[in-house]
Amino acid sequence: MIKPAYHRHCHITHTGSLYTFENFRDFLRTSEDIDQLQTRTTETVDINKLIGLDMYICPFALHNMVGHTIISFSFSDGKKICLSVEAEIKLHRQYSLLH
Q: What is the pLDDT of residue 20?
A: 93
Chain mean position to CA 72: 8
> Please, which pLDDT band fits residue 23 given cuts at 50, 70 and 90?
confident
Domain boundaries, the chain: 8-85
Q: What is the pLDDT of residue 68?
A: 75
Q: What is the pLDDT of residue 11?
A: 84
pTM of full prediction above 0.75: no
Q: What is the pLDDT of residues 81-94, one digit of tens each?
A: 888 776 666 666 66
Q: What is the pLDDT of residue 44?
A: 92
Residue ranges of E strands in 1-99: 11-15, 18-29, 36-46, 50-59, 66-75, 80-85
